Structure 1
């Protein structure tokens, strides 16, 4: 997967300059535009074990064919024309195909063949692997979190939720869920019991979620921001001023994906990368190593 960090996003048929970057409110992080021209709404993202990155293009009917952006580890780009609209959820199945929401769920091959997923789901808004071969699915229409097991049977992990949108696991195995309609976030333990409920977010705001760099990061399309939520329930604005788009179903940043030291943000037409600023000692070591290489080359006359 490490090949992805250096190759996949060198694709710059997309890389046009934007006039203003989103503002990262924490000086310990930087933001970079990776790709633009992604269409109506770069939404949920998923990556396979080989470093292929897939991004749903959340489209309204009449605005073009539904599609999935495919960034390959060698830097190549392809489009999978799924013709699925309002495609929120996306996950890579064990067979390499993609499980895509909405509706009952669809299985999409990499050459664009689409079929109904054998296990019917109720508005799968987002899908996250648990690291054990299962998927946790936020079923928005049913108000529950469902476990999709490896044999494609299902069981209910939590119910009675209000339009659950995205979900993410922290490093303790707790599940964090954004309740879209209420503007709340809840934390559940490994048995599905509620630990805490966090309020104060914009109604219909809570969107994509990822555990990254020790915290929960959540996009808020309603005010074009990303917030950082700590495990004690406190939260602050982390970034603001995303591009978004001019009309619903969402306006600001939507999908988030954490890969190592990088947080990718799907923001309508754009794909952004947020990374920690290197420590001064790291920069010094890098600089010293570079100078040492120069001196060695001179000594060896190469």
Structure 2
């Protein structure tokens, strides 16, 4: 009986979310709603990365559809859902990190990769809160993936061109952290997150979308940079992140394509033992970029090449009935006081 009810729930969720273009969630404890939408065009290409600042603004990077021109950009979405272009003129912007309150200053950093045919190696750029952009570091070739270890105050960059992981110091200098993985033959480090909790073994987790099963998927690295693969059935991965607030069981999530679901990019929940489950999809669109917000919710971007808009979905825990009842009592008390 429970299975039948759950199947009906999934059917309703899929139908409703397909209609309004939100992410489709397969866990009945969570709901998905539209957080923001904004006009798109072919020149926006796809979403490269997402990051919040300390004021609750969400930044979304886009790389151009042709990869060759200077049509990469960053959009800023304010807490009320308004979206506007914040930075333009980038090439292949990917991950971003916000470093407010650290030695790196109150800046947004973005890894801007390139394509080999245009002869540029890319770099890491620093963006102030007025939208002014300046070069910061030249870490490796195509530093597309960025991560920040808040516990020790250290930035890391994954370079798709030479498959390195570098430490990026606050003065813009770099130090090699790991040469993993070697010979990826395209693709490479695409997402980084640092595990500062006790739940998952390993220091750093890395998503790779390189060619070849040995080099593509989700990996964990120890503090010396030695890597091992986790979630073997996830064949390629683009982004990953840890739930630090706890609304998602403090779990690791990653976007990718798995053996069981070889079609569109989707969001997976990965357990400590490496098992995983499909958590959300983008309906009939790819869901390959997400981030955790300061409110503990997952914010996921979906956009198809044929679509004329970008949709940011907010996935959050459905309050328990008791919580809702207490909320109702509180509202009722406030209204009585006003009478």
TM-score by length of 2: 0.71
Supply the distance in 1 between the matched residues of 2:271 and 2:127 (Cα, whole angstroms).
36
Contact 1:82 1:114 survives alignment (8 Å)? no
The structure-2 alpha-carbon separation of the partners of 1:264 and 1:74, relative to structure 1 and needing over 3 Å to count, comes to closer
The structure-2 alpha-carbon separation of the partners of 1:243 and 1:98, relative to structure 1 and needing over 3 Å to count, comes to farther
The structure-2 alpha-carbon separation of the partners of 1:82 and 1:92, relative to structure 1 and needing over 3 Å to count, comes to farther
User: How far is 1:45 from its partner?
Assistant: 1.2
Among candidates 45, 53, 73, match of residue 48 of structure 1:
53
Give the equivalent residue in structure 1 for 2:320.
279
Give the equivalent residue in structure 2 for 1:78.
84
User: How far is 1:89 from its partner?
Assistant: 2.4
User: How far is 1:76 from its partner?
Assistant: 5.1
Contact 2:207 2:240 survives alignment (8 Å)? yes
User: How far is 1:188 from its partner?
Assistant: 1.9
Give the equivalent residue in structure 2 for 1:209.
240
The structure-2 alpha-carbon separation of the partners of 1:263 and 1:22, relative to structure 1 and needing over 3 Å to count, comes to closer
Supply the distance in 1 between the matched residues of 2:32 and 2:91 (Cα, whole angstroms).
29
TM-score by length of 1: 0.79
Give the equivalent residue in structure 2 for 1:166.
191
Please give the residue correspondences for 1:192-203 in structure 2 after superposition, counting only pairs within 5 Å: 192-194=225-227, 196-202=229-235
User: How far is 1:271 from its partner?
Assistant: 0.8
Give the equivalent residue in structure 2 for 1:6.
none
Supply the distance in 1 between the matched residues of 2:98 and 2:72 (Cα, whole angstroms).
18
Among candidates 123, 127, 139, match of residue 142 of structure 2:
123
Contact 1:25 1:237 survives alignment (8 Å)? yes
User: How far is 1:68 from its partner?
Assistant: 0.9
Give the equivalent residue in structure 2 for 1:138.
158
Superimposed CA distance per residue, residues 241-271 of structure 1 (whole angstroms, 9 cap, x where no aligned partner): 4353xxxxxxx12221112321111222211
State the secondary structure of the residue aligned to 1:192: coil
Give the equivalent residue in structure 2 for 1:13.
none
Give the equivalent residue in structure 1 for 2:208.
179
Higher strand share: 2
State the secondary structure of the residue aligned to 1:89: strand
How many residues get paired?
273
Among candidates 298, 309, 323, match of residue 263 of structure 1:
298
User: How far is 1:33 from its partner?
Assistant: 1.1
Q: Which 10-residue stretch deviates more, 256-265 or 35-44?
A: 35-44
Supply the distance in 2 between the matched residues of 1:290 and 1:107 (Cα, whole angstroms).
44
User: How far is 1:71 from its partner?
Assistant: 2.2
State the secondary structure of the residue aligned to 1:207: strand
The structure-2 alpha-carbon separation of the partners of 1:18 and 1:64, relative to structure 1 and needing over 3 Å to count, comes to farther
Supply the distance in 2 between the matched residues of 1:147 and 1:243 (Cα, whole angstroms).
38
Q: Which 10-residue stretch deviates more, 271-280 or 114-123?
A: 114-123
Unaligned runs of 5+ in 2: 1-17, 114-121, 258-262, 304-309
User: How far is 1:168 from its partner?
Assistant: 1.3
Contact 1:42 1:271 survives alignment (8 Å)? no
Is it true that 1:32 corresponds to 2:33 in the alignment?
yes
Unaligned runs of 5+ in 1: 1-16, 245-251
The structure-2 alpha-carbon separation of the partners of 1:129 and 1:110, relative to structure 1 and needing over 3 Å to count, comes to same
Supply the distance in 1 between the matched residues of 2:137 and 2:163 (Cα, whole angstroms).
21
Supply the distance in 1 between the matched residues of 2:23 and 2:79 (Cα, whole angstroms).
27
